[in-house]
Amino acid sequence: MGKYNRDDAFRRSDDITIKQAVDKLLEVYRLRRKFDETSIVAAWPELIGQAIANRTQQIYIRDKKLFVKVESAVIKNELAMMRRQIIGRVNEYVGQVVIEEFVIL
């Protein structure tokens, strides 16, 4: 006889996880893109590093473009050189293509 798992007794074949339910909710109400965009803005320090994040004055997303305003010409140059990596890192973070362009203000 196999090991008895108490959770199996309560789980039906049509049960879904909380994550699956939230994902479905976001899709049904067409909130997925906004949720992903908000997640990116919140995770900016983690994605780019605290030193650059501290010097970021503004960050927002519009029409699949990530806009970032920074105070320093040196940081603008550094971000410009990392443009492709930043787009890749951001899209990887959310698990789909949310950003197609990166604009430095």
Is 99 part of a structural domain of the chain?
yes
Q: What is the CATH number of the domain that holds 71?
A: 3.30.300
Instruction: Write the pLDDT tens digit of every residue in 12-66.
Output: 667 889 888 888 887 877 788 888 899 999 999 999 999 999 999 999 999 999 9
What pTM was estimated for this model as a whole? 0.74
In this structure, is residue 6 part of a structural domain? no
Q: Let me know if residue 58 belongs to a domain.
A: yes
Q: Is 39 part of a structural domain of the chain?
A: yes
Domain count across the chain = 1
Determine, yes or no, domain membership for 68: yes
77: in domain = yes
Supply the pLDDT for residue 50.
95
Segment holding 30, helix H or strand E: none
Residue 21 lies in a domain: no
In a domain, 50, yes or no: yes
Angstrom distance (rounded) from CA 9 to CA 11: 6
Mean pLDDT of 61-78: 94
Cα R_g (the chain), whole angstroms = 19
Structural domain boundaries, residue 67: 31-104
